A and B are shown apart, each in its own frame.
Chain A
Amino acid sequence: AACGLYFPRKEYSENVYIDQPAGTPLLRIHALRDSRGEATHFHLCQNLIVSRARSHENHWFQIREKTGLLYLSKSLDREDFNMLSVGSWMPLSKVMLYVFLSSHPFQEKECDSAMRTTVFLSLINATAPACSSLTARQLCFTEMDLSFHIKENKPPGTFHQLQLPSVHHLCQNLSISYKLLAAEGMPFRYNENTTGVSVTQRLDREERERYELIAKCTVREGFREMQVEVPFLVNVLDEDDSPPFLPNGTDTADAVVEFNRKEGTVLATLTVYDADTTPIYPLESSRKKYTGTIITDDPWISETFRVEHIFDEIHFSPNGSQVRGTQHEYKLVLNKSISVTEHRSFQLDVLVNDTEFHGPERSVMLHFNVSILPVSIQFPNMTYQFTVNRNAERFAQIGKICIENCMKFRGVNITYKLLSPNVSCYPVSILQGREDRWGSVYVNDSSVLRRPECKEIQYTIQATDKQSRKHTKTLLTVVLEGTLLKKEEDCPDSCAVSKHQAECEECGGLGVLTGRCQWRQGSGKGITTNYSTCTPSIKTCPDGTCDVIESKDAAVCPQDCTSGNIIGGHGKGIGNLGIKSGHGICYCFPRQNCYCEKDDIKEQLCDDVCKTVI
């Protein structure tokens, strides 16, 4: 049968000295009951754990089965001490004993019961000290904190004795008396005759979970009087005695699936409160104690949705004092991506169950009003028209195309492609990054741009949804404009190579829009994201991301895409690609190194900012 007895402390401690006589009381252990009239029996495990893993048979210590008084049954002499300290490398030896608890007399003297407390005995390599040499602190209290835990909803009982049995036995000529301060109005009582402290009524953790009192001790020896005060703490242990409840009575939430249809999307969240605490650790068992189940017969619903449960500690203040409680959040989550054609509405019920609460209101029902709306795959009501300069080079980015609401889409895979025009002029192509929801139109063949017969080219663009195979089309017109410039000789094929504004703006390079590179003048302050550099287009390079077109050729924008060495003061970009920030002017030799340096020699070689070392 389940035994409701328990120890109000996990650990006890006391000192043991050489040659203390048999019969010396050491300490008093208490137990608290689950129900009135339950008997308590204490039992000592006949196994001493001597520092570390070594154990030894216990010949010296015994406990009174009824009262819990631990005493020396045989005095420890120097030989015993030496034997018990073998294997110990610390100057101070400690032995550990387990005390067990049962509601009926112990039959088998075995060391296996869930109810146990640990006693640490420090073996002091000296005879017992004279009472006059002990401080008041040593006479009154042990080193351990006076800290206890009492379960809520349990009958009253005595849980501690302030007087130290060992000191009382040793120093009988001293008068040692105790008082419990700050106890007015608190459910604790101190008995002067026994020095026992008891709890006087059933405690409720949801009302108050911590009591802080003060134990005061007065030692009188003739005319001398000494006083010590130490904190006396009682923590109230929680049990599941509160049902779940809804904050503001809210049990319904709307869950709309529209543009975001991706697996893992959180559609809606409902909150349930509980005045009981829920330990995070171990997490899985707490999840099992508080369940949330989708109530449905529809296999499609159970496949498509799942409920995620997270919980967090919150505080309630029932009557001034703060107590801990729990906030449970139930999130309705998409278990798989939903097709763009799906269209339905229904109510989804989730049953939340506080499985350890033994009352009628142990569960609450949560309702999610789910609406799955279809989304249309279509282009905005217009056709695209891009103008391209005849001097643009390969990989020049002309524009982006995107179906209606494309930037809002999640979990919908749209691919864009150009349907070939039936003309010979075909200078542009479309590219799409792996995660991109848009397509980028860029110059694929710059020689076509130079041909005078190509002026205005019409394309058809098609966007397709991968999952539903739905597609839509629109027209794209590319207009070529501008007059051809004379090409400078000795120009590198990459803008990034140029180190000065003049040589930058004189030359073209891969990716330029108008035949000439553009110079970005930075702020010139230390290592900055706004460094000076030469780029095919300030709009796209450097912008901190190595986009799908820039990654086609290392010469287009090494500032965003380089994975090589960067020499000089700099910071690297995401995934170690590109130059996120640089010192002075940054220039690059594609597929080789990049350099960031101050150009102006007249300036101080290294100022304070550049001195900043890692």
Chain B
Amino acid sequence: LAGPPSPPGQDPHGWRVPVDCVRANELCAAEPSCSSRYRTLRQCLAGRDRNTMLANKECQAALEVLQESPLYDCRCKRGMKKELQCLQIYWSIHLGLTEGEEFYEASPYEPVTSRLSDIFRLASIFSGMDPATNSKSNHCLDAAKACNLNDNCKRLRSGYISTCSKEISATEHCSRRRCHKALRQFFDRVPSEYTYRLLFCSCKDQACAERRRQTIVPSCSYEDKEKPNCLDLRNTCRTDHLCRSRLADFHTNCQASFQSLTSCPGDNYQACLGSYAGLIAGFDMTPNYVDASPTSITISPWCSCKGSGNMEEECEKFLHDFTENPCLRNAIQAFGNGTDVNLSP
């Protein structure tokens, strides 16, 4: 497929390289017209009603000016310094414009360009064996061993495990909030060749699959007394900038597509697994394996579509992006088998 010649400022894939929002905010602040329009727009959006905003001439003008500023296309990086500040700037503009009722929201994160094969290469260096040929062993156990041999991985893993298994009182068996925070640190600070091996190891028996299910200490980080409605859960998630961003990122990178061989957008497994791991790291939207079945992989957040009323179809659609998502399933299986799609660059 021959695309148009790349204008300056584009990367070899033909995508514009976006500025991060913290930097874009600095650029805008240095320019009086931009900064005053940005302030105006934020005030317009504070009302949270898109239609009133669009009707207002002043707001409309501010929007048009800002469309030309770097703020408009700015993006954030996962685990970057000031990630939360970056996301705040991003949503301060996009919240009112993309509308809260949209089913899928675009990810505020930069596209992932690395591929799974990069991880396999690193993984086989430290394990000293080809993960694909070693069929007898318990891959999830191997992943735990590999993590324990790395100081950083071991420290952060035992950190979240002890936090998530610490009993607080007879009624509260752990601090969910602290557990989520510790998990987030683990997934943000440990390289993915370790974390993915733990999360997505392939299994041939139930003991292995149970170990895989237990990776994130689901009794604390996942399960709850009651299962909320998935739309309610999504709503809660969207009130938090970080959770909202990670969910949007999951939808962007794991949404099943008919247009690719692997069912993944751009046939990019790495991007999907990355946004899945990003969603685990904390929040109530945390997904996990629903059972210890070694072969059939079913993933779901802790919610159900009971009590959806007239929104049942929408709820099922939301839930199916986890439970019946061919892209996510293929990506996990491809990682477990040590296979990636070979694409010409």
Contacts and interface: CB of A to CB of B under 8 A. Distances in A.
A312 B226 CA distance: 12
A277 B311 CA distance: 11
Interface in B286-345: 306-314
A238 B311 CA distance: 10
A241 to B, nearest CB: 13
Given A51-B106, A280-B232, A281-B229, A576 B307 contact: no
A89 B111 contact: yes
Interface in A73-114: 78, 82, 87, 89-92, 110-112
Interface stretch (B24-32, B81-89, B90-98, B197-205): B90-98
Given A89-B15, A576-B166, A281 B307 contact: yes
Contacts of B18: 89
Given A51-B106, A280-B229, A280-B307, A575 B169 contact: yes
A589 B67 CA distance: 69
Interface in B63-115: 67, 72-73, 93-94, 97-98, 106, 111
Contacts of A149: 310, 313
B167 A572 contact: yes
Interface in B145-188: 148, 158, 161-162, 165-170
Given A87-B16, A91-B14, A281 B97 contact: no
A575 B313 contact: no
B229 A147 contact: no
B72 A53 contact: yes
B167 A573 contact: yes
A213 to B, nearest CB: 16
B167 A574 contact: yes
B54 interface: yes
Contacts of A89: 15-16, 18, 73, 111
Nearest to B108: A52
Contact of B72 (A87, A92, A313): A87
Contacts of B94: 52-53
Contacts of B165: 614
A271 interface: no
Interface in B237-289: 258-259, 265-266
A149 B306 CA distance: 18
A462 B281 CA distance: 56
A281 B106 contact: no
A125 B3 contact: yes
A237 B67 contact: no
B219 interface: no
A54 B307 contact: no
Contacts of B98: 52-53
Which of A89, A279, A613 counts the most chain B CB atoms within 10 A? A89
B231 interface: yes
Q: Interface on chain B toward A: helix, strand, loop, or mixed SS?
A: helix
Contacts of A91: 13-15, 266
B89 to A, nearest CB: 13
B313 A147 contact: yes
A252 interface: no
B4 interface: yes
A614 B161 CA distance: 8
B235 interface: yes
Contacts of B308: 277, 279-281
A610 interface: no
Interface residues of A, number: 42
A279 B314 CA distance: 13
Contacts of B266: 91
Contacts of B311: 279, 281
Contacts of B231: 281
A280 B306 contact: yes
Contacts of A111: 51, 54
Contacts of B106: 51-52
Interface in A207-246: 235, 237-238
A574 B170 contact: yes
Contacts of A599: none
Interface in A562-576: 572-576
B15 A278 contact: no
Nearest to A281: B232
A39 interface: no
A254 interface: no
B321 to A, nearest CB: 14
Nearest to B11: A89
A171 interface: no
A404 interface: no
A281 B169 contact: no
Interface in A106-149: 110-112, 125, 143, 147, 149
Contacts of B51: 111-112
B94 to A, nearest CB: 5
Contacts of A10: 314
A278 B97 contact: no
B18 to A, nearest CB: 7
A181 interface: no
B49 to A, nearest CB: 10
Interface in A247-297: 277-283
A53 B45 CA distance: 13
A143 B15 CA distance: 25
A574 B4 contact: no
B72 A82 contact: no
Contact of A82 (B4, B54, B228, B258): B4
A574 B314 CA distance: 42
Which residue of A10, A54, A91 has the most chain B CB atoms within 10 A of its CB atom? A91
Contacts of A52: 73, 94, 98, 106
Given A54-B72, A87-B72, A313 B306 contact: yes
A367 B132 CA distance: 68
A278 B158 contact: no
A16 to B, nearest CB: 15
A203 to B, nearest CB: 13
B307 A312 contact: yes
Contacts of B232: 280-283
B315 to A, nearest CB: 9
A565 B220 CA distance: 23
Contacts of B14: 91
B1 to A, nearest CB: 8
B258 A279 contact: no
A238 B165 CA distance: 44
Nearest to B95: A53
Contacts of B169: 574-575
Contacts of B310: 149, 237-238, 277, 279
Given A112-B51, A281-B231, 6 more contacts: A89-B18, A91-B15, A111-B54, A143-B258, A280-B306, A574-B167
29 contacts: A51-B106, A52-B94, A53-B97, A82-B4, A89-B15, A90-B15, A90-B265, A91-B13, A91-B15, A91-B266, A92-B259, A110-B55, A111-B54, A112-B51, A112-B55, A147-B313, A149-B313, A235-B312, A237-B310, A238-B310, A279-B309, A280-B229, A280-B306, A311-B307, A313-B306, A313-B307, A574-B167, A575-B168, A575-B169
The 6 closest A-B pairs by CB, nearest first: A279-B309, A280-B307, A53-B97, A281-B232, A89-B15, A112-B51
